[in-house]
Amino acid sequence: MKTLITEMFGIQHPIIQGGMHYVGFAELAAAVSNAGGLGIITGLTQRTPEALAAEIARCRTMTDKPFGVNLTFLPTVSSPDYPGYIKAIIEGGVKAVETAGNNPQKWLPALHEAGVKVIHKCTSVRHALKAEAIGCDAVSVDGFECGGHPGEDDIPNFILLPRAAESLKIPFVASGGMADGRSLVAALALGAEGINMGTRFIATQEAPVHEKVKQAIVDASELDTRLVMRPLRNTERVLRNAAVDRLLEKERALGADLKFEDIIEEVAGVYPRIMLEGDMEAGAWSCGMVAGLIHDIPTVKDLIDRIMREAEGIIYRRLAGLGHT
């Protein structure tokens, strides 16, 4: 299936694996790329630029296909060594970067000079237009359904994607709620050039996370996510657990007086304990509503092959069949 996104990134299928904290290691990125999608290493999961360089090199030993790196620009006091991370990406020969968080403008000249294509993650049309204006090559449009940070506008993809298609000149992929061939065909119908999947890729055999995490996603329904940190305007969609219930209770009790310090034990530094050790009550972790559509833990190749098979079946049989009277 050829789209502007497959052409831009040199991939077979219009499926991108989103950057995910303590999930986007070389094993998963290589598996996605080998299966014809675009695998993504999560940059900031690697503590230093040197560690990222090593992870990129490790990924090279597992795939000869294109893969990318996610780099999230955080509004933090002690900023990560972004110049170092950019250098590791460029010297590692990576040709695709998924940026997220703050405006990536100051890093674009160096990346573009090195022939790197940049796809920026946006939760609104205005942010997508800004990404286009500063020179991003593509955007990932993230609807309200998504796991992680859905922004503060609460616009679901059925509205957000066609609005993006009306407004943008650069290609975009649909992110949030993407799980199967139906998702892909719907995204294409709404104007996207492909899909970005996060939560669905966690529930695969190659995802280097604890089995309890994968099983939690399979067991969850579309009703089992919650929005946390909304009073702080840093809204995150997470899977409900005891820590999340505790966090929400603090938000209710403190109201307008809530500060990040009040919820720090539920959100700070919990990912290694959850993803690597399977401590499912350690804190809040990102998960999309799409959990309700995830019923198995296939290999990445089986998943991507199935998505493409389903998509082609829908396009060539179901939809083409509707045209005949």
User: How many structural domains are present in the chain?
Assistant: 1
Q: Answer whether residue 124 is part of any domain.
A: yes
**Mean pLDDT along residues 191-199:** 98
Q: Which two tokens stand for residue 53?
A: 């360089």
Phi and psi angles of residue 224, each rounded to the nearest 5 degrees, phi first: -100, 10
Q: What is the pLDDT of residue 62?
A: 98
Query: Is the predicted pLDDT of residue 325 greater than 70, yes or no?
Result: no
Specify the CATH number for the domain of residue 62.
3.20.20.70
Q: Answer whether residue 143 is part of any domain.
A: yes
pTM of the model: 0.97
Distance of CA 131 to the CA centre of its chain: 17
Given CA atoms 12, 92, 76, 131 in this order, what sign does their dihedral have?
A: negative
Given CA atoms 183, 156, 286, 77 in this order, what sign does their dihedral have?
A: positive
Q: Answer whether residue 131 is part of any domain.
A: yes
Which of 136, 164, 133, 173 shows the shortest CA–CA distance to 18?
Answer: 173
Q: What is the pLDDT of residue 77?
A: 66
**Mean pLDDT along residues 269-278:** 96
**Mean pLDDT along residues 63-84:** 91
Q: Which two tokens stand for residue 258?
A: 């809530």
Dump pLDDT digits (tens) for 84-125: 999 999 999 999 999 999 999 999 999 999 999 999 999 999
Distance of CA 155 to the CA centre of its chain: 17
Structural domain span for residue 181? 4-208
Q: Answer whether residue 287 is part of any domain.
A: no
Q: Answer whether residue 285 is part of any domain.
A: no
Q: Answer whether residue 257 is part of any domain.
A: no
Q: Answer whether residue 95 is part of any domain.
A: yes
Q: Answer whether residue 264 is part of any domain.
A: no
